[in-house]
C-alpha cells in the first residue's frame, strides 16, 4: 500500500471495532466481571492472566505485560504488518482504507537520499571508533563509564575524531552530496568563506534511530570539558525531535513484551540502564517530553515513569512533565514520578546499586495523583482552613485539563478527603473552572 493511512481513519476504525470479537476468534475468552479473561497467547501459563476490556478496547496480560489495541493484537498474534492489520479490520467493518498519497514523489526520493547519507555517516563513526589513531581516548572514556563492547554495539555507538573535515572528506564526493549532508545536519556551511565543516568533532556519537531502525540523527558527547557537553543534530526533513525518543528502537528490539517506559534525560542513562537489563528506557532529545512523545509511548504500554534529579531543576522539570501528561491521562494510562538522590543520575545509580535495587525505586515511584497533591500542598498547613481552601483551588486548576474519567473521579474523592470539602462542591467548582469558589461544607 503506497502512501500514509490518515490517523483520523485509524481512530475511527478502532471506534468501530469490538476488540473482544477480534480476540475471541483467536483466544478462548470468558466473561469476568466487566472484562473478559483467558490464557495469554503470548506466553505459556496455566492460570489466566490475559484480560480484554470491552469498554476501554484494549488487552493486557498481567503475566508478561503484553498490551495494546485491536491493531496491535493482530500485529503480535497474526504477525501482520501495520497496514495489513488496518486493512483486515477495515474489511470486517465494511469500510475502505483511505490513503494520503504524496503530492510530490521527489520528496520521498530526497528523504531516501538523506537516510542513505545518515547511514553512511553512522558507518563512518563506527569505523573511527575501531580504527582512528585517537580511538583510545574514546574507548577509554567508554570504559571509564563502565560501558561494555556488547552494549556499544547494540546502540551503534561511534566516534567523531578531532578535525574539521573528516566526515566531509569521506562522504562528500560532489556538490549534491555536500548539500545532502548539510540538510541532514552533518555539515555546517562556513560563514566567512566557501565550504563546510563537520558538525560533530572529537565526540562520542550516539545514533538516533526511528521505529524502523533507520538512523535519522545523531547526538554527540564531548570527551573533555568543552561546551556544549551534548550536541544534537538539528531538525531536518527526516528528524523532528519533538516526535522522537532516543532508545525507543533499541527498547523494542530488546523486548516485544514491554509493560512500561522510563523517561530519562541523557543518552548514557539509557545505555547504562539497558546494560543492566533495564531495556525500557528512553530519553528526550534536548527538549521536555511532549504530548506527542507520551502518546507514542502509551500506544505501546500502559505506564510511563518520569525520572528526575532531586534538585530544584528536577522539581521544575517534573512540574512541566505533569502539565504535559494531564491532558492525555485517559483511563488505563498511568504516569509516575521518580526523584533520585541529589547528585545522582540513573547512570551512576544503576552502576552503584544494580538492577534490582534500581527497579525497586521504580516500583515505589510516586503516582501522578500523589505527586500532584504533594506539589500543590507544598508549604501549606492542611490543619488550617485557609490553606485547605488554597490547596483545593490549586488542585482543581491543575486537574482542569484532565479527561473526565475514573481517575479524575478518584482524585476528586481524594481531594475531598484531604480538604474536608464535599465531592459535589468540588465538582461544581471544577465545572465553573474557578477553584477559588470552593468552600467547606
Do 376 and 354 fall into the same domain? no
Do 31 and 121 fall into the same domain? no
Across the range 70-79, mean pLDDT stands at 90
Query: Is 311 within a domain?
Result: yes
Do 68 and 185 fall into the same domain? no
Mind listing the pLDDT tens digit for each residue in 342-361?
889 999 999 999 999 999 99
Query: Is 202 within a domain?
Result: yes
Do 116 and 194 fall into the same domain? yes
Query: Is 350 within a domain?
Result: yes
Query: Is 290 within a domain?
Result: yes
The CA distance from 410 to 418, in Å, is: 12
In this model, does residue 2 exceed pLDDT 90? no
Give CA separation, 297 vs 218, 289, 292, 332, 379, in Å: 21, 11, 9, 13, 34
Look-up: residue for cell 557537553? 229
Query: Is 224 within a domain?
Result: yes
Lowest-confidence pick of 42-56, 152-166, 173-187, 276-290? 42-56
The residue among 27, 58, 93 that closes a domain is 93
The CA distance from 48 to 70, in Å, is: 19
Contact 435, 429 (CB under 8 A): yes
Q: Which of residues 300 and 5 earns the better pLDDT score?
A: 5
Average pLDDT value over all residues in the chain: 90
Do 380 and 346 fall into the same domain? no
Alpha helices in 2-81 (DSSP H): 7-16, 19-24, 70-77
In this model, does residue 103 exceed pLDDT 60? no
The closest alpha carbon to 11, from 106, 121, 86, belongs to: 86
Rg over CA atoms, the chain? 25
Do 385 and 427 fall into the same domain? yes
| pLDDT for the residue numbered 254 | 84
CA 193: distance to chain centroid? 41
Q: What CATH number is associated with residue 164?
A: 3.90.980.10
Kindly indicate the confidence band of residue 3, based on its pLDDT and cuts at 50, 70 and 90.
Answer: low
The CA distance from 281 to 392, in Å, is: 35
CB proximity list for 156: less than 8 A, separation 6 or greater: 122, 126, 207, 209, 215
Do 126 and 206 fall into the same domain? yes
Strands 334-339 and 303-308, sheet pairing: parallel
pTM over 0.85: no
Q: What CATH number is associated with residue 350?
A: 3.40.1360.10
Query: Is 363 within a domain?
Result: no
Do 218 and 268 fall into the same domain? no
CB proximity list for 344: less than 8 A, separation 6 or greater: 309, 310, 352
Do 39 and 87 fall into the same domain? yes
The residue among 93, 127, 143 that closes a domain is 93
Do 193 and 114 fall into the same domain? yes
Mind listing the pLDDT tens digit for each residue in 121-180?
999 999 999 999 999 999 999 999 999 999 999 999 999 999 999 999 999 999 999 999
Query: Is 44 within a domain?
Result: yes
- Enclosing domain of residue 15: 7-93
The CA distance from 45 to 66, in Å, is: 13
Do 275 and 211 fall into the same domain? no
Which strand ranges, in their side-by-side order, compose the sheet holding 203-209?
158-160, 203-209, 215-222, 230-232
Residue 334 backbone phi and psi in degrees, to 5? -125, 135
The residue among 232, 266, 289 that closes a domain is 232
In this model, does residue 439 exceed pLDDT 90? no
Do 113 and 89 fall into the same domain? no
Question: What's the domain count of the chain?
Answer: 4
Query: Is 240 within a domain?
Result: no
Percent share of the chain, pLDDT over 70: 96
> Which residues make beta-bridge pairs with 215?
209
Amino acid at each position: 500500500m503506497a502512501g500514509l493511512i490518515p490517523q483520523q481513519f485509524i481512530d475511527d476504525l478502532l471506534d468501530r471495532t469490538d476488540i473482544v470479537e477480534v480476540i475471541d476468534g483467536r483466544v478462548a475468552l470468558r466473561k469476568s466481571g466487566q472484562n473478559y479473561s483467558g490464557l495469554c497467547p503470548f506466553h505459556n501459563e496455566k492460570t489466566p492472566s490475559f484480560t480484554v476490556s470491552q469498554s476501554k478496547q484494549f488487552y493486557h496480560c498481567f503475566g508478561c505485560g503484553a498490551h495494546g489495541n485491536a491493531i496491535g493484537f493482530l500485529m503480535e498474534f497474526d504477525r501482520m504488518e501495520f497496514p495489513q492489520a488496518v486493512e483486515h479490520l477495515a474489511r470486517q467493518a465494511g469500510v475502505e482504507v483511505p490513503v494520503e498519497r504524496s503530492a510530490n514523489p521527489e520528496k520521498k526520493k530526497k528523504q531516501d537520499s538523506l537516510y542513505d547519507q545518515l547511514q553512511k555517516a553512522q558507518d563512518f563513526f563506527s569505523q573511527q571508533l575501531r580504527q582512528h589513531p585517537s580511538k583510545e581516548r574514546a574507548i577509554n572514556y567508554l570504559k571509564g563509564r563502565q560501558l561494555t563492547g556488547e552494549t556499544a554495539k547494540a546502540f551503534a555507538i561511534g566516534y567523531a575524531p578531532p578535525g574539521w573535515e573528516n566526515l566531509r572528506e569521506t562522504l562528500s564526493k560532489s556538490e549534491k552530496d555536500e548539500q545532502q549532508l548539510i540538510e541532514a545536519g552533518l555539515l555546517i556551511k562556513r560563514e566567512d568563506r566557501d565550504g563546510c565543516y563537520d558538525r560533530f568533532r572529537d565526540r562520542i556519537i550516539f545514533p538516533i534511530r526511528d521505529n524502523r531502525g533507520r538512523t535519522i540523527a545523531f547526538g554527540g558527547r564531548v570527551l573533555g570539558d568543552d561546551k556544549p557537553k551534548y550536541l544534537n543534530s538539528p531538525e531536518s526533513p527526516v528528524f523532528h525531535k519533538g516526535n522522537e525518543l532516543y532508545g525507543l528502537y533499541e527498547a523494542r528490539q530488546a523486548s516485544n513484551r514491554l509493560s512500561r517506559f522510563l523517561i530519562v534525560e541523557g543518552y548514557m542513562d539509557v545505555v547504562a540502564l539497558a546494560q543492566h537489563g533495564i531495556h525500557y528506557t528512553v530519553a528526550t532529545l534536548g527538549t521536555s517530553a511532549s504530548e506527542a512523545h507520551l502518546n507514542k509511548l502509551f500506544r505501546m504500554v500502559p505506564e510511563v515513569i518520569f525520572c528526575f534529579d532531586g534538585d530544584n531543576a528536577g522539581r521544575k522539570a517534573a512540574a512541566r512533565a505533569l502539565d504535559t501528561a494531564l491532558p492525555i491521562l485517559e483511563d488505563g494510562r498511568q504516569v509516575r514520578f521518580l526523584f533520585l538522590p541529589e547528585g545522582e543520575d540513573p547512570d551512576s545509580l544503576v552502576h552503584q546499586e544494580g538492577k534490582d535495587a534500581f527497579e525497586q525505586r521504580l516500583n515505589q515511584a510516586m503516582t501522578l495523583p500523589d505527586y500532584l497533591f504533594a506539589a500543590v500542598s507544598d508549604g501549606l498547613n492542611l490543619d488550617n482552613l485557609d490553606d485547605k481552601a488554597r490547596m483545593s483551588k490549586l488542585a482543581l486548576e491543575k486537574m482542569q485539563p484532565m479527561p473526565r474519567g475514573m481517575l479524575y473521579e478518584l482524585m476528586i474523592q481524594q481531594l475531598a478527603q484531604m480538604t474536608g470539602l464535599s465531592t459535589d462542591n468540588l465538582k461544581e467548582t471544577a465545572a465553573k473552572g474557578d477553584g477559588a469558589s470552593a468552600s467547606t461544607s
